Structure 1
Amino acid sequence: MQYIIGLIGLAVFLLLAWVVSSDRKNVRWQYIAIMMVIQFLLAFLLLKTPGGVYLVNNLAKGFGYLLGYAAEGVNFVFPNMVNVDSKGAPLKNFFTQVLLPITFISALIGILQYLRLLPFIIKYLGLAISKINGMGKLESYNAVASAILGQSEVFISLKKQLPYIPKHRLYTLTASAMSTVSLSIVGAYFSMIKPEYVVTAIVLNLFGGFIIASIINPYRVTDEEENEVIMTENEHQQSFFEMLGEYILDGFKVAIIVGAMLIGYIALIAMLNGIVDAFTPGHVNFQTILGYVFAPFAFLTGIPWHDAVRAGSIMATKLVSNEFVAMLDVQNIVNNKTGELSERAIGIVSVFLVSFANFSSIGIIAGAIKSLNDKQGDVVARFGLKLLYGATLVSFISATIAGFFL
């Protein structure tokens, strides 16, 4: 039964994308079918095969080592921020153990960029994907780069091309940026939810972004358009220590910004919960109301109905705040063993959470592009809600496909 519901869910989510399509007659369903088959294959390999499990376990182990090295630097600067319980065991400090290690991961990304390893991977992986998705090389490059560099940083690498990118292609580029996550915060996700869900979501979202963009915003890239926005190397080559200092500071800024957003959003949600609870019988709060709104969509991803309201609440929390706030909710359920959600529901919800699809990302992406090209920034701001709509559908599709193998 869950497979039938999952198939119905995929059909509904694709239909929701088609309803707002800018050119419904020219959607190239053959490419969409190919990419969906690839998604199913990747989900099966990562979640069900020994090779996939081995890969994910070793990735998690590798990031575990990196987070251990990051802890050396964090503990040196903040030695008194590690609290212990009554038995002397260290308590989890979200700021020092989850956010601050982003600084170290960002430095490593900078080193790989400087050594030209990441640009090589991004270029040729993007070229290979362009043969599958039926889109331009720029769109494929941008999707891979977004998953490594981040939703705002990726557009710095496209600074010279931005003035020449037409509106329809700009939508696809920004949709990819909102549907993926940056490599610098993957370690933080690993410490909050199971690594197999993080890795699965990243690879599914990569193709899911193309699927939804191909339906909402179908077009064909001409050779002339491709040549107008051809990728060029940066003229200025920073010294190693210039680069390292820049990436370290960028990583620290990300950690501080995420921390600030968490303080604000968690406090606001707590206040809204309190207000709703005070005026409604039965201790119904704001997140419960969101849960009822999102419950049908959660159910369509393959989550059992008895889990759908709680799961929908977490999904909605991610949309109105960010993925970290929602992941904390999942983490509390897992750590406290409250039984609020089944293991299957936790897996599907976890895959849904791994993306930047939330309201604040509209401002982040539009602001990043506006700082590079004022006119193009305004263009992105105008289709911001449509951008979020599409990116949210990407998350639903990835979660639904993962649900077939959980």
Structure 2
Amino acid sequence: MVHHAMSIVGFIIFAGISWLLSSNRRNVAWKTITSGIALQFLIGLIIFRLPVSYRILIWLNDAVVALLNASKAGSVFLFGPLAASPGEQGSIGFILMFQVLPVVIFFSAVTSMLYHLRVLQIFVRLFAKLFHRTMKISGAESLSSAANIFLGIESALVVRPYLERMTRSELMLILTTGLATVASSSLGVYVAFLTPVFPQVAGHMLSASILAIPASVVAAKLLVPETETPETLAAVPPDDESERSKNLISALIQGAMEGLKLAAGISALLIAILGVVALLDKLLGALGSLFGMSEPLSIVRILSWFFYPFAYLLGLQSSDVPTAARLLGERVILTEVVSYNHLAQLITSGQINDPRTVVILTYALCGFAHVAAVAIFVGGTAVLAPSRRDDLASLGLRALLAATLATLMTGSVAGIFSSGQQVLLR
């Protein structure tokens, strides 16, 4: 109970930080904030405490795992034993390039086909109406936020006709929801890492993306309150069909090509970021040795110090706090791909063996809240709305802060309601 109480305290503090750093505390729409908080707690209650929800999570998890297994057909055909995961026949060990990144291409293709068939739109509009009616955000914000549950940067396309005329607060929320959630095409990467040690992870990640939307609304609307009247305040706008593929085969091809770009982008970012961080770590290590530090100084180590109190406020066991702080710090600079990979390794090695800790970290790490993603989302959205480039650029780091606080709030909600009893670790 003590740890659950700390999760509540953490949630309050994370929301409080958003308010303290607000650009205009006098204009905060408290009905939106309280509705967003209430919706988070309601979703958390449904996810973790309703027996039927557990069965739904298992069903969703099995569906994602089935897709994950299906994705191996193409990669095994192309790469042979290189694509075989550890433990499978012919495997020569774990190789991210051949065993994980092909999943991105497959999931992107499937998502594109579901979008063409208007299957995704059904769920997007349902969630959009829910967010619009409960939190009183604009229709365009609701639609973009709902799309972020399933899509990545391309979620901005669903509100493309309105981007140029959006208020600054609306742009802030669009960036925040993008950074605080994960795309379905990337979801397969994290599931591939964690399923061997956390079999139900896929269902929880889908839940985390849903939970992240009201959390993003709370953080974004506290940091940058609405001071204007949004154009789509009255209703959720209709779907923009201009980006829809002409037929199913075209959708599959387009999705696969987009997935290839994403996989290449992930590879490029990992190579560049890990290399630059390694270089900076050498410089910091040399600096630390001048001052006689017993352990080498590094960027991740510095960030782990910064995130230590935040990890503590998530309500984790004391022994897990330093490790969690390091994972949170890694996410900001090295991306969530590295953090989830390390989380899987920590579970495998037994360094993290508390199921509740695993659930909390799964939710708290579930988002593109890192430096590289800011450039991707700001740049990608600016292409769609060139006249708002300066506004988007000025909101980038603030959106990263909001997304980080939002993911911490989702982790806190998981900590409040999860006991870890229904979580199996292998």
Post-superposition CA distance 1:183-236 (Å, at most 9, x none): 222222222232354133212101101111221222277475547994453347
Gaps of 5+ in 1: none
Question: Is residue 2:185 matched to residue 1:173?
Answer: no
Q: How many residues align?
A: 404
Deviation of the 1:84 alpha carbon: 8.2
- Match for residue 215 of structure 1 among 216, 222, 243: 222
> What's the counterpart of residue 402 of structure 1?
414
> What's the counterpart of residue 373 of structure 1?
385
Specify the SS of the correspondent of 1:303: coil
TM-score of the aligned structures, taking structure 2 as reference length: 0.87
Counterpart contact for 1:135–1:221, Cα < 8 Å: no
In structure 2, the CA distance between the partners of 1:69 and 1:195, relative to structure 1 (3 Å rule), is closer
- Match for residue 362 of structure 2 among 323, 327, 350: 350
Write the letter of the residue equivalent to 2:221. Answer: S
Specify the SS of the correspondent of 2:59: helix
Counterpart contact for 2:208–2:410, Cα < 8 Å: yes
Specify the SS of the correspondent of 1:153: helix
Paired with 2:31 and 2:126, the residues of 1 have a C-alpha distance of 23
> What's the counterpart of residue 57 of structure 2?
56
Paired with 1:60 and 1:33, the residues of 2 have a C-alpha distance of 31
- Match for residue 198 of structure 1 among 190, 205, 213: 205
> What's the counterpart of residue 141 of structure 2?
139
> What's the counterpart of residue 69 of structure 2?
68
Write the letter of the residue equivalent to 1:164. Answer: R
Question: Is residue 2:396 matched to residue 1:384?
Answer: yes
> What's the counterpart of residue 324 of structure 2?
311
Paired with 1:5 and 1:86, the residues of 2 have a C-alpha distance of 39
Deviation of the 1:173 alpha carbon: 1.6
> What's the counterpart of residue 335 of structure 2?
322
What is the percentage of aligned positions where both structures have the same residue?
22
Question: Is residue 2:367 matched to residue 1:361?
Answer: no
Paired with 2:160 and 2:230, the residues of 1 have a C-alpha distance of 21
In structure 2, the CA distance between the partners of 1:237 and 1:283, relative to structure 1 (3 Å rule), is closer
Q: CA RMSD in A?
A: 2.6
Deviation of the 1:271 alpha carbon: 4.4
In structure 2, the CA distance between the partners of 1:84 and 1:161, relative to structure 1 (3 Å rule), is closer
Deviation of the 1:44 alpha carbon: 3.1
Deviation of the 1:379 alpha carbon: 1.5
Deviation of the 1:257 alpha carbon: 1.1
Paired with 1:87 and 1:33, the residues of 2 have a C-alpha distance of 49
> What's the counterpart of residue 297 of structure 1?
310
In structure 2, the CA distance between the partners of 1:292 and 1:314, relative to structure 1 (3 Å rule), is same
Question: Is residue 2:236 matched to residue 1:234?
Answer: no
Worse-superposed segment, 87-96 or 392-401: 87-96
Paired with 1:356 and 1:86, the residues of 2 have a C-alpha distance of 30
Write the letter of the residue equivalent to 1:106. Answer: S
> What's the counterpart of residue 114 of structure 1?
116
Paired with 2:228 and 2:385, the residues of 1 have a C-alpha distance of 22
Specify the SS of the correspondent of 2:161: coil
In structure 2, the CA distance between the partners of 1:320 and 1:79, relative to structure 1 (3 Å rule), is same
In structure 2, the CA distance between the partners of 1:75 and 1:14, relative to structure 1 (3 Å rule), is same
Deviation of the 1:117 alpha carbon: 2.1
In structure 2, the CA distance between the partners of 1:283 and 1:83, relative to structure 1 (3 Å rule), is farther
Paired with 1:33 and 1:394, the residues of 2 have a C-alpha distance of 15
